[in-house]
Structure 1
Amino acid sequence: MYQVTIFVLCFIAIEWIQASKIVDTKTITEKQDHDVVLVCRFEQLNKGDRVMWSKDSVILSVNDEIAGDRKRYEIIDKYNLMIKTVAEQDSGKYLCQNFDQRVSMNIILTILTRPSKPDIQQANKSLIENHSGKFLCITQGGYPPPTFTWLINQIKINESFYNVRSDTRQSYSELNLPMEKRFHNGLLTCHVENQALDTPLITTYTLNIEYKPEVRLRHGQKIVSNSNLLVVEDDRMTLQCEAESNPPILKPVAWLKNNISLSDMNSSSLILSNIKRNDDGVYTCLASNAIGHSQSSVHIRVQYSPMIHLDGGGSINENEKLTLTCRVDAYPSIDYYQWYKNHQKLNTSSLTSSIVIEKVSKEDSGIYICMVKNTLNYFNGSSIEKYNKTQTKVTVNYAPKVRTFDSIVAVDLLTTNVKFQCEIDSYPESIVTWRFNNNNVIFNSNKYSIVQNKSLSYLTIQQIQSNTDYGLYSCNATNNLGYNSTTIQLRSKAIPESPTDLNVTNIDYSAISLKWKPGFDGGWPQSFWISLDNSIWKETNQTFYTFTNLQHLEYYNITVRAYNELGQSSTVAFLRVQTKDVPVRKEDLPNIEHSSLELSEKLINYRLNDSSFMSIKVPLCIRIEIDNETNICERIVTSSGVLRFNENNLNNNINLSICISQYENYCGESIPVQIKRDTSFNWVFLVLSSIITVALLILCGLGIFCFLTNRKQQRNTNLSRVIASDKAPSQNQVISTKPVIPTTNRYID
């Protein structure tokens, strides 16, 4: 009966659908396996109205009666249709109809379905470095169609490397990725996601990339491929060749030096046990597998201490060009060059490998040393400095240079053993001859004696016999480079020659310093008279003198005359000189702010104006005047201080003034000195006087006390005798009838 009723209602509903009015259309989207409630609501829904649900013209329910699968459909809240655990086939158009009011509403339900777990498939037979690898990520089903994301080693791959294709049954993404060695054993990941998934579906694929060997050279703990490896000569070195490849290498590695095979080296370790400089070169390790071959190289640079050779030197003539070159074989290059001559350091640049002297002289002869230094660096970071040096001897040949110590010799007739001396400087050694008046050659004889060593020649005249022995004696030297001579005049003793070359060596506002060149002394010791304006004459044995206490800006005429035992020179050396101006005016000299004299200590305390004292740049002194007579001018270096005064008569007027040192007449204002007399109390004298006074008073008191005590004892004795006489008189004694009354009672106790 129930089925018949439903059938009848269905027939009626089909007929009614064509006449009902659609009042609303809704769209609902829900994820797969969720429950969904389709709500049917009309504005004027009466309690008794009949409502029917259908899907794609298939009736699902009438009122609360379910016509379909009761496990999946349920009417709730009287008119709402709940679909349990929705699936893909539940998507469609649902119709809710009100028979009584002849209205209806559409609900379009869309079910979001999950795709299947993706699968990654490798399209290439093998993956090879620097080739493109093709991969497919495939998933089944899913609505809406899923999206794909590729990652390698958790790093997202750019979308330009893959594309996505979808149909109703399956979706897939095709990835074309260039293979790199760094991707080997890496994880290729495919992410699939759509709106039905709470989290993406993930699958991974481990890459097996084949690549040719990657060769590295290791020294110790450091990779040294494609670099310079510094080693030190005579050290030991091990170079390790490491080859990483997939598939493994086919045969042992090969070693090359400067692109030439080292046939005896087939181990992965290259050992140089005793490094020599010819081991320097480019070393290469070569490895191969089925994919290809690779190599790695290192330039082993052998460091060694300098080997040097000095070009130039030997014998060279004066004024020729001398070139000394220090040729060095070293690695690393030289840090610096240092040149020495006769073990004395020369002032040359540290980069100077050559010394060039355009015109050599005899002073350039000597031993020249070239010393060089470089620095060898070890692999561990330490270093050592290496030095080497070599030398050469330079001998300069030059013509003779002849000089004498005395160009004039004055002696009297009959003087014996008159000796001349000349010094010869030459290389090679010279032949020396002596001549008289440039004509006659002198030989050893009874009159002459010639003695010669390497650099000195002596001519001795045994006795000056006559005036004919006076004249010019020349010393002549000759070698293969030239000739030279000097002359000695022999004459009788005479007055001295005049001084020459009178010059000023120093001049200021109060002093002039002079020097001059003495003439020949005439054969006797000479002295000099120095005159200042022909009024001041000074005598000296020196060839210099200084006049002091002069006036500033004054002209002075100075003459110097020589004299000896025979008289004075015929002429004088003359010079006219003006002294300089004083660098400070008198009114600018520092003021004395305070001065005092302590008589007991004989000390003068002074204090100057500090700012004016510091501004003066000339030495100053304090002039002390007693009764307007200058006593001394003490040099001062500070603006305040103490001067010790040795004068005995200090009760007169004492004045101080500031003067320029060594120019005591140029002074500032004179001020009197305050004299402090000694009024201090002598406590020692007071104490001694007090002690003596107290002692005297004590002695006086003791004397008075002793005197009074003695008198008292005498009175008492006399009184006792009187009393005794009264009590026992003798028979011969006349007894007085009157009592004995003392004249005073001050002695009676």
Structure 2
Amino acid sequence: MIQPESPSLTVDVNDVQEYHSVNLKCSAINGNPSPTFSWYRDNIPIQSSSLVRDVENGSILTLNMTRKDNGVKFECQIWNPALSSPLHIEQRIIVKYLPYVNILSNSSLIQSTTDRILTMEHIDEEFICEVDANPRPTSIYWTLNNTTIVSREKRLYFYRLKSEQSGNYTCIVENALGIVKQSIYIDVQYAPRVRSIDKILKVNRSDQVKLRCSIKSYPNAHEIIWYKDKIEISRYKIDNDDKIEYRIDRVERNDTGNYTCMAINRISLNKQQQQQQRYFDLNGSAIIELIVYSRPVMETTYSKIASEIGQSVKLICSVKGQPTPSIFWKHNGKTLNCEENTNDYCKLSLNYVTTKDFGDYKCIAENLLGKEEWTYTLVSKGKPEPPYDIQIDKITHSSFKIRFKPGFDGGDYQSFILQINNSLSDIPNNTFEYTVDDLTDSTTYIFRIKSQNSYGVSEWSPEIIIKTSELLILPDDLPTLRSLSYDSSRKFLHFDYYPGYKISEKQLCLRINQSTDGKTFDTGNLHSSCLDIVHNRVNYIMNKDYSHLKLAVCLREKSMICGNGIEMKHDERDRTSAPMIIGIVVIAIFLVLIILILMGILRYRRQKSPKYSNETRKSAKPIVSEPLQNPYLLYSNNVPYQLNDYQCNKIMNIERTENYCCDIEREKMKDESIKHDTFDSYGATKLRTNLSGTNHSSPHWLANTAESKNSGTNSRSGSNPSSEFSCLTQNTMILPIFSDSEIVCQTDITHYGFPSQSSRTLTNTKLNNINNDQNSRSILNNFPSSSIVMIDNNGIRPMDSASSTPNRIKKLFYEVVV
């Protein structure tokens, strides 16, 4: 096996153009066995056998080239068993072609030359000529109707399109191979354009007039609307008519004004959603001014003016007419000119009214077509005039409506009084329409009206007679009863109605039929059993002989016309009070519970507040227990009595004179005024004395308990330790005298004054210094074994209960107890 040589690839055409046939030949020699040939287009195998044919030592690929083949890679591969991998060769083909042109509009592609672009006036449009050509285009331009060049760029832009810009637009592209054109037709639609044929029309009164307009619209207008002073007066459909008109057969002076002719097509319909002012400013409307010639017409509605002497008055005369009339005033034969004449208004001012100014004032207006006068009467303020032009409307079986015009008010605020038969009622202020209701059907009423002000009351208006209509009520129209109950204490029968009825309670009564067995009801005395209804109840005395009642609502005037009846049984009687009482009791209990809960919450919060705790602590007096007969065994008997360092030093150096002083009276006054101890905290003061006794002595430090018991007095020295001690922290020490006791000098004081383990003992022998002192021995011998003495710079003396410190001893007592 022999490997073939590397393949070669040749193209039979040098200048490849679109739609031309091209042969690509791949050759390879010296291969044994002969190699096989494969073709690829951009790495994709070409499978079509009609495009490939084998020749000696090679293969030929025949292609009909298009612009899509431009720049495409064509590859030939050979292989035989002697090769470890195929050999290949490739070549890219350059294809030349005429320009391909597409027109884009608003991101959409226009592909056909007959495409028609439908757009609207006053919007922006953009068209882009997209080109694909090889070689590159030499020129690109746009033409309108194949005559006028409108752009020399790929982009054709229209700012606020106009209807005149409609037409055929062509994009022309040219390169070395030739010229290509692509066209579109731009069809611009627009709202109707209306033009008035006559801008101003002047006609005489009673003439016929035609208001005409011409219309140009695309698409055609389909509706016409006419406005007078921007108020619609006519609307109708049209079919492809470019001239329209509005006709008035007989014009009057009030036909004078501005008339607007508006045409609507499919485009202008969307613009109706805009603001009204903008709506009339569009091209779809035109204005025609109509002027009707007429003699002057007064538009004043009052003829009397009231004033007091010294006041100022303005007389206003309003006149309409064409041509514009001239206006002047006359009073007592004198001509007065208008002080101000604007927009057909003439004003005459009287700055200071005198008695000579009262009288008639004539306003005279005239033009070429006639003359008009109006008389004003200036009078002094006084009583009003009665209403006039009284009309009656909407007469029903229970009401009617009154309309009237107020008379001259006399120069002051007036109100109105209505009299119906013999009943008087006030008509609400500033109301000239009033509805009278709650009347009886088929009844004749006589009414009249008068007015009043601060100067007096007017005369009555003429009497008017009216009769209400007949009330036609069927039994089904009457209300049906529900919720029956009887109150035996007040003899009231209570009930309620089902909703939906529209009849006044004054027109109703309650019929009651009685029965003993619930089957046969008494109907012999119906006229006396129809009771008047007042606030859903009737006054009725229940007869116990009848266990069943049948009730129905009837017409008062026609008691035989009744609604659906309802039966009241014996067990429904006298049950009105029970639910009411139960409800009241339940509500009362509920309110009491709420009050108690609120009081408990307030008391709890008050007790928890710091202010309340401080006040309680200040006001409460500590309770000190009476001394016990037996000593407290807070310590074991083998624990000696303990003294602190300060007391030990005092005992051992009792004869030493030092400059210590304790002002007992000052401390007494200070301690009596202060309720709280000035110590930092329990067990925290360095000079605090902590004493405790052993053997048979009490830790309460009691003094002369036996004497107190024998004397029968309740001495504080026997019950309150606060009376036995003072000056504990100012160079003074308290020494209890116990027989056969040891005194322990305490070095460390722990919390609440309990002794620490490190202490030293001072035995009785060490007290000899005290005993050797003659004065001290005599004093000690005079004290009982459980008495308390005080040792200080002045020597040994009994405890003075009058100089005690209550609060300090109380705390010390608490420490001993704890």
**TM-score, normalised with respect to structure 1:** 0.40
Between Structure 1 and Structure 2, the one with more strand by share is: 1
Which of 1 and 2 has greater Rg? Answer: 1
Between Structure 1 and Structure 2, the one with more helix by share is: 2
